[in-house]
Amino acid sequence: MTAKPLLTARDLRVTFDLPAPGGMPWTKPRQLHAVGGVDFTLMPGETLGVVGESGSGKSTLARALIGLVPATGQAVWQDGTDLIGLSPGKMLKYRSEIQMVFQDPLASLNPRMTVGQIIAEPLTTHHKGLSRTEVKTRVKDMMDRVGLLPNQINRYPHEFSGGQCQRIGIARALIVEPKLVICDEPVSALDVSIQAQVINLLAELQRDLGLALIFIAHDLSVVKHISNRVLVMYLGRVMELAEAESLYANPCHPYTQALLSAVPIPDPQLERKKRIIPLKGELPSPMNPPSGCVFRTRCPRAQAICASERPALRGRAHLTACHFPGPLPPEELTSFAQSA
């Protein structure tokens, strides 16, 4: 029997109204299109990696899923409830099932609260029937699971390193036993050695607890290590969505190919031989995205149809939003490199 999806997003959009130049109250506000029609399905226990440049809408997508920013479209939970547009009271029921680990480990923790209070806060909010002894026992058990010492329970966040603060954030997210944890670039502010520890911790906890993860990152090598499938975003839209092995072995979208070509290879000889696919120009403004394919202004394959028609996300297991998907021919790479 096929498992039921945990979360299904359909045409998910986030648009912000910004004051027009001059700031007059009668002027029409400008619209910033942060997320422009994202579709994906997340299965129980699966890890979906989300990658893309800064400004591609990754973090806004995460915040839309948990109701931190207003959105349109659908985000249907396992029980059939559409999470988009739910009132705070109705959304409270799902807060314990969907938790988030934020990018800046120290900034996401209240400096006036001890570690024990920080980790216990979700419990006291969602499980009010627990006694103080039960809460303290669960907090200590979770601290032990994420690698924190019991005698650190009364310390404050400023007394911990960045990696330890992120462990506190992970413990706070997991204390209510959620079904989905959204990790918004949880290792980008950490040293490389600490990144590996946090990634391994998340992978271990996922295996033990059966969690589903949405893992947002810039580092494609990190995403490959932890993800079952990978979603590539550019200017708020999905460029490619596939199984991790398929996407890394055979990227079909020119944007994905450019991102992967920039990933360093530990072997110096292979690093010197690899082809770098440069991207010309800057990321367009989300207030005025290009017509048709939003990537066309930086794409080596762009043709007239790319400006007039938005490519649909096509394919079966490996989905690509491109009019001309496939490997990049060497001669095309050479001509584009000369013009970049």
In this structure, is residue 62 part of a structural domain?
Answer: yes
In this structure, is residue 24 part of a structural domain?
Answer: no
d(CA 74, CA 84): 6
Same-domain check for residues 262 and 293: yes
* pLDDT at position 232: 96
Same-domain check for residues 160 and 304: no
* Domain that includes residue 107, residue range: 7-17+30-249
* pLDDT at position 103: 87
* pLDDT at position 334: 43
**How far is CA 28 from its chain centroid?**
32
**pLDDT level of residue 337 (50, 70, 90 thresholds):** very low
Same-domain check for residues 238 and 142: yes
Last residue of a domain, one of 249, 272, 299: 249
Least confident of 77-86, 189-198, 270-279: 270-279
Contact 290, 206 (CB under 8 A): no
* pLDDT at position 213: 96
Q: Is the pLDDT of residue 23 over 70?
A: no
Same-domain check for residues 239 and 269: no
Same-domain check for residues 197 and 234: yes
Amino acid at 153: I
The more confidently predicted of residues 33 and 263 is 33
Last residue of a domain, one of 215, 232, 249: 249
* pLDDT at position 333: 43
Read off the pTM: 0.89
Q: Is the pLDDT of residue 332 over 50?
A: no
**How far is CA 206 from its chain centroid?**
16
Same-domain check for residues 72 and 195: yes
Same-domain check for residues 224 and 304: no
In this structure, is residue 22 part of a structural domain?
Answer: no
**pLDDT level of residue 5 (50, 70, 90 thresholds):** very high
Q: Residue 180 is part of a domain; what is its CATH number? A: 3.40.50.300
Same-domain check for residues 83 and 174: yes
d(CA 279, CA 50): 20
* pLDDT at position 330: 53
For residue range 57-111, what is the model confidence (pLDDT) as tens digits?
999 999 999 999 999 999 999 999 999 989 888 998 899 999 999 988 888 899 9
Q: Is the pLDDT of residue 119 over 90?
A: yes
In this structure, is residue 206 part of a structural domain?
Answer: yes
Report the candidate in 179, 105, 175 with the shortest Cα–Cα distance to residue 140.
175
Same-domain check for residues 158 and 296: no
DSSP assigned state of 178:
-
**pLDDT level of residue 30 (50, 70, 90 thresholds):** confident
In this structure, is residue 25 part of a structural domain?
Answer: no
| Beta strands in the chain, from DSSP E residues, in sequence order | 7-18, 30-42, 47-51, 72-77, 98-101, 180-184, 212-216, 229-234, 237-243, 319-320
Same-domain check for residues 191 and 270: no
d(CA 76, CA 144): 34
- Give the percent of the chain with pLDDT over 90: 59
| Domains contained in the chain, number | 2
Task: State the average pLDDT over residues 298-309.
Answer: 92
Same-domain check for residues 139 and 204: yes
**How far is CA 174 from its chain centroid?**
18
